[in-house]
Amino acid sequence: MDTITLTIDGQQVEVQQGATLLEAARELGIEIPTLCYHPDLSLHGSCRVCVVEDVKSGRLLASCVAPVNNGMEISTNSSKARVARKTNVELLLANHPNDCLGCDRNGSCELQDITHDLGITRVDFEGEKRDLPVDASGPSLKREPNKCILCGRCVRVCEEVQGVSALEFTERGFNSIVSTGFDLPQSEVNCANCGQCATVCPTAAITEISEVDKVWAALEDDTKHVVVQTAPSIQSSLGEEFGMEPGTVVTGQMAAALRRLGFDKVFTTDFAADLTIMEEGNEFIQRFKGEKNLPHITSCCPGWVKFCEHNYPDLISHLSSAKSPMSMFSAISKSYYAEESEIDAKDIYTVAIMPCTAKKFEKDREELVGDTDAVLTTRELARMIKEMGIKFETLADEKYDEMLGAHTGAGTIFGTTGGVTEAALRTVKEELDGEPLGRLGLGFEGIQEASLEVAGQTVNVAIANGLANASKLLDEVRAGNSKYHFIEVMACPNGCVGGGGQPLPTSKEIKQKRALGLRSIDESDSIRKSHENPMIKKLYDDYLGEPLGGHSHHLLHTKYQKRDRN
Q: Which of 43, 132, 468, 535 binds another protein (CB under 8 A)?
A: 43
Q: Which residue's CB is nearer to another protein, number 73 or number 168?
A: 168
Would you call 359 a catalytic residue per the annotation?
yes
Q: Which of 10, 29, 102, 124 binds another protein (CB under 8 A)?
A: 124
Catalytic residue among 171, 188, 339, 367: 367
Q: How far apart are CA 198 and CA 202, in angstroms?
A: 8
Would you call 362 a catalytic residue per the annotation?
yes
Q: Which residue's CB is nearer to another protein, number 34 or number 230?
A: 34
Q: How far apart are CA 247 and CA 296, in angstroms?
A: 31
Site for another protein in 389-448 (CB under 8 A): none
Q: How far apart are CA 449 and CA 206, in angstroms?
A: 34
Q: Which residue's CB is nearer to another protein, number 69 or number 317?
A: 69
Q: Does 334 bind another protein (CB under 8 A)?
A: no
Task: Find the shortest distance in angstroms from Cβ 514 to another protein.
Answer: 32
Catalytic residue among 53, 159, 280, 309: 280
Per-residue mark of binding to another protein, 127-146 (x: CB under 8 A): xx------------------
Q: How far apart are CA 120 and CA 303, in angstroms?
A: 40
C-beta of residue 278 within 8 angstroms of C-beta of residue 241: no
Q: How far apart are CA 257 and CA 315, in angstroms?
A: 42
Number of residues that bind another protein (CB under 8 A): 38
Q: Does 47 bind another protein (CB under 8 A)?
A: yes
Q: Which of 15, 25, 41, 92 binds another protein (CB under 8 A)?
A: 92
Tell me how many helices (H) and strands (E) the chain has: 19, 17
Catalytic residue among 64, 151, 191, 496: 496
- Cα 516 from chain centroid (whole Å): 16
Q: Which of 67, 138, 145, 446 binds another protein (CB under 8 A)?
A: 67
Q: Which residue's CB is nearer to another protein, number 60 or number 158?
A: 60
Task: Find the shortest distance in angstroms from Cβ 172 to another protein.
Answer: 6
User: Dihedral, CA atoms, 458, 528, 503, 492, nearest 10 degrees?
Assistant: 10
Task: Find the shortest distance in angstroms from Cβ 177 to another protein.
Answer: 8
Which among 7-15, 148-156, 281-289, 517-525 is the span making contact with another protein, rule CB under 8 A? 148-156
C-beta of residue 507 within 8 angstroms of C-beta of residue 202: no
CB atoms within 10 A of CB 28: 15
The b/e string for 290-315 (b: 16+ C-beta within 10 A; e otherwise) is: eeebbbbbbbbbbbbbbbbbbbbeeb
Task: Find the shortest distance in angstroms from Cβ 155 to another protein.
Answer: 9
Which among 87-95, 112-120, 404-412, 538-546 is the span making contact with another protein, rule CB under 8 A? 87-95
Of 135, 112, 133, the C-alpha closest to 209 is: 135
Would you call 320 a catalytic residue per the annotation?
yes
Catalytic residue among 144, 362, 380, 488: 362
Cis peptide before 139 (omega within 30 of 0): yes
Of 322, 329, 300, the C-alpha closest to 406 is: 329
Q: Does 222 bind another protein (CB under 8 A)?
A: no
Site for another protein in 167-206 (CB under 8 A): 168-169, 171-176
Q: How far apart are CA 165 and CA 499, in angstroms?
A: 18
Q: Does 490 bind another protein (CB under 8 A)?
A: no
Task: Find the shortest distance in angstroms from Cβ 76 to another protein.
Answer: 14
C-beta of residue 274 within 8 angstroms of C-beta of residue 408: yes
- Type of residue numbered 57: S
- Cα 528 from chain centroid (whole Å): 24
The residues binding another protein (CB under 8 A) are 43-49, 51, 59-60, 62, 65-67, 80, 83-84, 87-88, 91-92, 94-95, 124-125, 127-128, 149-150, 152, 168-169, 171-176
Residue positions annotated with a catalytic role: 280, 283, 300, 320, 359, 362, 367, 496
